Amino acid sequence: MKYILIILIVALLGVGIFAYNYEFAEEDFDQKVIGVCVLIFSFIWMPLFIYHRYKNKKKEDFILSNENLKEMNDFSRKE
């Protein structure tokens, strides 16, 4: 999964930079290519990245509960 994400982001950046610098025969083709790259980044790459980063994590670690608040308060008082 890590290598798929790296290959996909490099490809998206490469195509986006190429479309930005190259002058196409069709007038707005470069803007369409850059727009498609942004959409692919937003709706394909970013969800894959988020899934990859948080697939083995517990939701309880990210939820602010009373127990977590007490732990944080106790930790700050120790210092």
Percent of the chain scored above 70 by pLDDT?
A: 97
Residue type, 18: F
Q: What is d(CA 35, CA 22) in angstroms, rounded to the nearest whole number?
A: 15
pLDDT at 12: 92
Does residue 79 carry a pLDDT above 70?
no
Q: Is residue 58 within 8 Å of residue 33, measured between CB atoms?
A: no
Q: How confident is the model at residue 9 (pLDDT cuts 50, 70, 90)?
A: very high
- pLDDT at residue 64, as a whole number: 83
| CA distance readout (Å), 49 to 8, 23, 25 | 11, 32, 35
Number of domain units in the chain = 1
Cβ-proximal residues to 6 (8 Å cutoff; 6+ apart), any chain: none
Residue 27's domain comprises: 2-78
Report residue 30's pLDDT band, with 50, 70 and 90 as the boundaries.
confident
